[in-house]
């Protein structure tokens, strides 16, 4: 391409006449003395125009903004899409709340529906078209308080809203948003062994090298119908009767340690960690501090750990 530009730029009638049978010129040759600089500059102007067309993708004398969609236009569409998605999410929640209020007198009410929208087609925007909505109402956590759980599932996220029913009113007590690609499920059970059921969100981070099964635990506050801030655990196994959480730390197989934690009211006490002993293969080290190299040598894993989930990861048996 560059050679073609040089040929057209360096050609002149006098030179062509002298080289009738030559259609290409060696770009390294010196310009003949009789080449007109006026002609050269004229041809260079044409080269500039061609380069402008190549770079800009449109006629060089047209305004750039006419060659395609401007950034302002793209941003405007994105803003419009965001507003419509937000409005559709809100309308789905309002519809779910309206249905729930009509069934508040029931001891238990389960219902699911799909909320659809054609707004995106009307304005030619790829916006949220459908939301799956699940409603669960009843004495979900204890026999003294009635709660309403609403799940809204979209292509990109899971929206969880939990309400307390008081005097025929719905009071928001918990809200959580989780990316769809990381959300596994949510569940209700007594995680800390205090006799009241708690709310847990199970998810799995989208990036990472190692086992990373996560739970966020919202503890029920006694006789209030409300919840604590969340506690996050990685690769846990809950033992409510013992008020314990045993699990596996984040790390490569054979390197990640085991941990044991204990509920102390709404606090968590660290009990111990167990690691592979790097000094003697096939043995272990029980420590009070994370990553410590000082502790009690063990010839085998204590029996209490043998039932935790994904133990093979710790044992390096992928």
How does pLDDT run across 212-238, given as a tens digit for each residue?
999 999 999 988 999 999 999 999 999
Amino acid 44: pLDDT:
56
User: How far, rounded to the nearest angstrom, does the alpha carbon of residue 180 sit from its chain's CA centroid?
Assistant: 7
Residue 169's CB is within 10 A of a number of other CB atoms, namely 10
Residue 217's CB is within 10 A of a number of other CB atoms, namely 21
In this predicted structure, the answer to whether residue 19 has a pLDDT above a threshold of 80 is no
Question: Do 57 and 89 reside in the same domain of the chain?
Answer: no
Question: Do 35 and 165 reside in the same domain of the chain?
Answer: no
Distance between CA atoms of residues 126 and 119, nearest Å: 9
Question: Do 176 and 214 reside in the same domain of the chain?
Answer: yes
Structural domain that includes position 230: 71-314
Question: Do 223 and 298 reside in the same domain of the chain?
Answer: yes
Closest of 180, 156, 169, 158 to residue 97, by C-alpha = 169
Question: Do 37 and 131 reside in the same domain of the chain?
Answer: no
| Percent over 90 (pLDDT), the chain | 62
Distance between CA atoms of residues 125 and 122, nearest Å: 8
Question: Do 60 and 198 reside in the same domain of the chain?
Answer: no
Distance between CA atoms of residues 88 and 288, nearest Å: 51
Q: How many residues does the chain have?
A: 318
Distance between CA atoms of residues 288 and 294, nearest Å: 9
Distances (CA, A) of 205 to 21, 64, 180, 238: 70, 43, 11, 20
Among candidate residues 51, 66, 81, the one where a domain is terminated: 66
In this predicted structure, the answer to whether residue 66 has a pLDDT above a threshold of 50 is no
Question: Do 54 and 123 reside in the same domain of the chain?
Answer: no
Which distant-in-sequence residues (6+ apart) come within 8 Å of 38 by Cβ? none
Amino acid 83: pLDDT:
77
pTM assigned to the model? 0.73
Summarised one tens digit per residue, pLDDT across range 260-277 is 999 999 999 999 999 999
Residue 159's CB is within 10 A of a number of other CB atoms, namely 18
Distance between CA atoms of residues 305 and 245, nearest Å: 10
Question: Do 53 and 127 reside in the same domain of the chain?
Answer: no
Amino acid 264: pLDDT:
97
Question: Do 14 and 103 reside in the same domain of the chain?
Answer: no
Amino acid 88: pLDDT:
85
Among candidate residues 43, 66, 89, the one where a domain is terminated: 66
Question: Do 96 and 136 reside in the same domain of the chain?
Answer: yes
Amino acid 172: pLDDT:
98
Question: Do 62 and 83 reside in the same domain of the chain?
Answer: no
Question: Do 157 and 289 reside in the same domain of the chain?
Answer: yes
Distance between CA atoms of residues 152 and 150, nearest Å: 7
Amino acid 122: pLDDT:
42
Q: Report, as an integer, the average pLDDT of 158-164.
A: 98
Q: Report, as an integer, the average pLDDT of 36-44.
A: 47
Distance between CA atoms of residues 90 and 1, nearest Å: 57
Specify the residue for token string 């029980």: 286
**pLDDT confidence bin for 86, thresholds 50/70/90:** confident
Among candidate residues 49, 66, 83, the one where a domain is terminated: 66
| Percent over 70 (pLDDT), the chain | 70
Which residues share a beta bridge with 185?
202
Which distant-in-sequence residues (6+ apart) come within 8 Å of 206 by Cβ? 179, 181, 182
Tally of structural domains, the chain: 2
Closest of 177, 141, 147 to residue 163, by C-alpha = 147
Q: What rounded mean pLDDT belongs to the chain? A: 80
Least confident window among 74-83, 92-101, 157-166, 184-193: 74-83
Distance between CA atoms of residues 197 and 139, nearest Å: 10
């Amino acid at each position: 391409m560059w050679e073609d530009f040089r040929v057209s730029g360096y050609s002149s009638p006098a030179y062509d006449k002298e080289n009738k049978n030559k259609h290409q010129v060696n770009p390294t040759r010196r310009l003949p003395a009789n080449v007109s600089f006026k002609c050269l500059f004229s041809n260079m102007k044409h080269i500039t125009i061609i380069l402008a067309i190549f770079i800009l993708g449109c006629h060089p004398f047209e305004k750039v903004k006419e060659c395609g969609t401007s950034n302002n236009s793209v941003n405007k569409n994105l803003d419009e899409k965001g507003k419509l998605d937000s409005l559709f999410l809100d309308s789905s929640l309002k519809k779910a709340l309206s249905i729930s209020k009509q069934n508040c007198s029931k001891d238990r009410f389960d219902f699911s529906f799909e909320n659809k929208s054609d707004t995106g087609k009307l304005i030619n925007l790829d916006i949220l078209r459908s939301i799956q909505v699940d409603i669960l109402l009843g004495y979900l956590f204890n026999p003294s308080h009635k709660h309403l759980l609403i799940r809204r599932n979209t292509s990109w996220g899971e929206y969880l809203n939990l309400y307390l029913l008081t005097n025929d009113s719905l009071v928001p007590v918990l809200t959580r948003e989780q990316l769809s690609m990381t959300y596994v499920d949510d569940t209700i059970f007594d995680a800390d062994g205090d006799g009241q059921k708690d709310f847990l969100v199970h998810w799995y981070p989208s990036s990472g090298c190692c086992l990373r099964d996560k739970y966020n635990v919202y503890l029920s506050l006694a006789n209030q119908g409300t919840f604590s801030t969340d506690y996050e655990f990685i690769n846990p196994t809950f033992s409510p009767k013992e008020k314990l959480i045993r699990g596996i730390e984040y790390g490569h197989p054979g390197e990640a340690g085991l941990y044991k934690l204990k509920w102390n009211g709404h606090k968590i006490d660290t009990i111990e960690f167990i690691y592979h002993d790097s000094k003697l293969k096939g043995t272990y080290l029980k420590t009070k501090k994370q990553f410590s190299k000082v502790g009690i040598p063990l010839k085998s894993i204590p029996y209490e750990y043998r039932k935790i989930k994904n133990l093979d990861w710790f044992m390096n048996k992928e």
